[in-house]
Amino acid sequence: MRIKQSAGDTVFMVLVYVLLTLLCFLFLVPIMQVVTVSVSPAEIINRYGFHLIPTKFDFNGYVLVMHNSQIWLAYKNTIVRTVLGTSITVLLTFMGAYPLSKKYLVHRKFWTGFIVLTMFFSGGLIPSYLLVKNLGLMNTVWALVLPSAVSAYMLLVVRSFIAGLPESLEESAQIDGANEIFVLFLIIIPLSLPIIATVGLYSAIFHWNAWFDSMIYIQDGKKQVLQILLRNILLVGSDPSWETSTGGLKMNVNSESLKMATLVVSMAPILAVYPFLQKYFLKGALIGSIKG
């Protein structure tokens, strides 16, 4: 039985659709503006107002970005830290979560508490900085991947996931004489692909977007990550290396279109992949907020 909508409901529904469409614009306008400015010639950029759809094209900003070796170096550094950091995170999270999921583990409560305690109290910025400095990790990629290697919270999420797996599979492997390390890698991990995707993607997006650690731990410009380079170009001011990198070639490029081109180049990978991977992020957000 279908109940006919009342007139009031129809008005309400129209309102809902209009409001949500306007909201979507609110999210999209900044992106559209930046993309448009990045491909427009100076005369359009400097005109006041909305630039949502490009009318005239000028790709000089991108040409300059493409020829800048520093950007590619920074891109490479970001990819390296993301791949290395994500691999270490996934591996260590499982190596911690699997033993702690075993109810018979000796002193399980104590070891779990040892890890959980760090969720509530931390030494803070200065002691962490001095630690990394004293360990001699300054100016190495390890300063970017080790301090944030395991999140206690994600470890608990994975632990309860593993605890929910059927035990019979593990038992049969143990009868065959395989020790727990083999069980983890040959049985548990292949069964945990969805949760690996969640942990891995959270870690990957963290590393892709991270910049503060790189700002304080990395002084060598050649080891700097993409976000820092972007920050230098966008917020701090123009980068002196721009002129040298074009080999003295004088191009009539509005520095704004150059800034915007760098901005687009650094956010494009994320905008291209997140719509397809969002279900894994949703899962992380949900497990987190209800219970672990």
Q: According to CB under 8 A, which residues from 121 to 160 bind other proteins?
A: 121-131, 134-135, 146-147, 149-150, 152-153, 155-156
The binder of other proteins chosen from 165, 216, 242, 245 (CB under 8 A): 216
Are the CB atoms for 61 and 39 separated by under 8 Å?
Answer: yes
Residue closer to other proteins (CB basis): 145 or 223? 145
Residue 123 backbone phi and psi in degrees, to 5: -70, -30
Is 240 one of the binding residues for other proteins (CB under 8 A)?
A: no
The binder of other proteins chosen from 45, 90, 154, 158 (CB under 8 A): 45
The binder of other proteins chosen from 111, 138, 187, 246 (CB under 8 A): 111
Kindly list the distances between the CA atom of residue 132 and the CA atoms of 86, 120, 128, 213, 215, in Å, as whole numbers in the listed order.
Answer: 20, 21, 6, 10, 13
CB of 132 vs other proteins, minimal distance in Å: 9
Is 180 one of the binding residues for other proteins (CB under 8 A)?
A: yes
Inter-helix orientation angle 69-101/152-163, to 10°: 50
Burial of residue 186, with CB atoms counted within 10 A of its CB: 0-12 exposed, 13-18 middle, 19 or more buried: exposed
CB of 222 vs other proteins, minimal distance in Å: 20
The binder of other proteins chosen from 66, 72, 76, 118 (CB under 8 A): 118
Residue closer to other proteins (CB basis): 19 or 249? 19
Tell me the site size for other proteins, rule CB under 8 A: 100
Are the CB atoms for 40 and 20 separated by under 8 Å?
Answer: no
The binder of other proteins chosen from 42, 80, 105, 163 (CB under 8 A): 105
Location of structure tokens 């069980």: 183
Identity of residue 244: T
